[in-house]
Amino acid sequence: MDLVALKAVLSESPVIFLLSAALAVLLSIWPGNLIVVRVDRWLVGRIAKQAKVAYDESSERDTLGAATVGCIERPIYILAIMLGQPGIITAVIILKAFFNWTFPYSEKKNGEGLVEMNVYYHAYVIGNLLSLSLALVLAEIGVHVFPALLRRFGSLCFLG
């Protein structure tokens, strides 16, 4: 994160910063959620196929929950990065780990379901990496690209 660019945008116009952040957040929800879910399904399907575990890529099993969490976490990631506070991302990931880590397979005993648990683990890690990567890209665009576009748009609409 370029804090000099962030300070320049904030000192010049907080409105431009807020609009840039809003654009980045909106893009993280749509089409961002769609992209993350589709890529995640495809990658996890390949992992499940290698592990010889039944997995339906078109299944809606966990998609709604994952999409909802993504709609909540990516805006937090984006704002944390844009405000120069990346430590917040660590807190979100730790909270997700505590709430999600052992849920589907905690009741299995004596090594049952280890392959399924491994596929679930990969799905969890892949989903988090995809979501975080998208947030990083959009936050950088929110700091470096959107402000210039908004200034240009504002000068065309209000001054020209």
- Model pLDDT for residues 32-43, shown as the tens digit of each residue: 999 998 898 888
Q: Say whether pLDDT at 58 is over 70.
A: no
6: pLDDT confidence band, cut at 50, 70 and 90? low
Q: Do 40 and 127 contact (CB within 8 A), yes or no?
A: yes
Mean pLDDT value of segment 142-154? 87
Secondary element (H or E) of residue 128 = helix 114-144
Contacts of 91 (CB under 8 A, 6+ apart): none
Q: Do 1 and 84 contact (CB within 8 A), yes or no?
A: yes
- pTM across the whole model: 0.81
